[in-house]
Amino acid sequence: MNQNTEKMSFNATWSMAVGGMVGGGIFSVLGVIINTAGQWAWLSFIIAGLIALISAHSYSQLAIKYQEGGGAFTFLREINHKGLAGSLSWVLILGYILTVSVYAFTFGHYVAHVFEWGSWFPRVLAFSIIAILTLVNLRGVGDASRVEIITVWGKLFVLLGLSLFGIIQWNPEQLTAGIEAKPWYMAVIGAATIFMAYEGFQLLSYDYEDLKNPDKTLPRATISAVIAVIVIYVLVALGATMLVGAETLIQKEEVALSIAGKQALGTAGLILVTIAAAFSTGSAINATLFSTGRLMESVAEKKDLPHLFAKENQANIPYYAIMIIAGLAAALAAIGSLGALVDAASLIFLITFGTVNFIAFQQKVTYRALCLIGAGGCLAAILLSSYQQLLERPVPLMAILGLILLTLIGRPYLLKKMNSEG
């Protein structure tokens, strides 16, 4: 990392964290979580958010301890689990590629909903947004962080406005309108299935070298960002339900907030929510491309990926890594729906959160008891989520287990072949 490269301020860092979470969060999972937890959806967001908050503390403290970016990959190497670090990094990178494609698919769906030009249009839009934001990232940190600040504040304005508009029309009956009331414990099961909505905060641990005064900026930005996102998710879950009722949000889950926006302000509301969705998913793509590029660079420097992925352009950006991420994500977004793999992606992040929390506990960071609670919470969420998937959607569960097995078996062989050819 060139020391003369422009560094990210607190505002840019906070915006990157919020953008990474909200972009793939409320727009993608609102209808899903209401279907699972019913009137307790808001509580699911709080439960998942509290575990994410503890995880944010663990990530920040470990990054400060080791004075290096790289997230779980770096932390595992520091405690001499290099093989596990390499395997987890490959799984994580695939998870992030999937995540970018889901964000792009969501972007295409919301924008295309306004125009209704046919099933091909969302795919074109998904490909286009990835291409545009790849070019932005290749220009450097300054451009990427400035885009993040603009997009995050734009979407927050619309989301908070929509949620407050709904809440002032408070009617508790809307929480169960058209559906059966759920028992309270479904909030816990619901929380276990939506961790993808909180995965974005840990992207900042890969950007340690890109932050101004990282030892202060990283913990303050990540923890405050998670708290802000919990509040946003709860307000939007309640506000949108007040506007259109639970049944409508479940039936129109792919564009749930567009329906709520139209109910609130007619066509103007539809357009505003579409703009917010575009800002939201766009900022999430931007944040994930940038930070996953840094992760791949770090992994390549440790010889767990080809050295090609560690090469930087004149703006000190790992351009090969970012282009590979973007290309694969665009291809996945163009193929079609990725809904069957979203739960599997959530499991990847739960495994990672749990691992990092346990490492933080072992390394005796501040408030280590909280880290142990976070690790236990992640383990419980993994078990609950796996059980739920086994009953309702076994394919994603089998896919993630197969992916992990393939990574553990195939990675050593591929690395050996790479080294012999090098």
- Check residues 48 and 7 and name the one with the higher pLDDT: 48
pLDDT band at 139 (very low <50, low <70, confident <90, very high): confident
- Mean pLDDT over the full length of the chain: 86
28 with 165: CB under 8 angstroms? no
* Segment 143-178, tens digit of pLDDT: 556 766 777 788 888 889 999 999 999 999 999 999
Mean pLDDT of 18-28: 79
279 with 22: CB under 8 angstroms? no
Q: What is the pTM (predicted TM-score) of this model?
A: 0.86
Please report where in the chains the tokens 């609130």 appear, as a residue. Answer: 264
pLDDT band at 292 (very low <50, low <70, confident <90, very high): confident
**Sign of torsion over alpha carbons 93, 98, 100, 101:** positive
Instruction: Kindly state the DSSP code that residue 9 receives in the 8-state scheme.
Output: -
- Complete DSSP assignment for 325-361: HHHHHHHHHHH---HHHHHHHHHHHHHHHHHHHHHHH
The pLDDT of residue 341 is: 60
378 with 354: CB under 8 angstroms? yes
Q: Which of 315, 269, 294 is nearest to 5 (CA)?
A: 315
* Segment 26-71, tens digit of pLDDT: 887 888 889 889 999 999 999 999 999 999 999 999 999 998 877 8
Q: How many CB atoms lie within 10 A of CB 384?
A: 17
pLDDT band at 1 (very low <50, low <70, confident <90, very high): very low
Q: Where are the domains of the chain?
A: 10-421
* Segment 178-194, tens digit of pLDDT: 999 999 989 998 888 88
206 with 291: CB under 8 angstroms? yes
Considering the segment(s) 10-421 as one domain, its CATH architecture is: Up-down Bundle (1.20)
Q: How many CB atoms lie within 10 A of CB 302?
A: 16
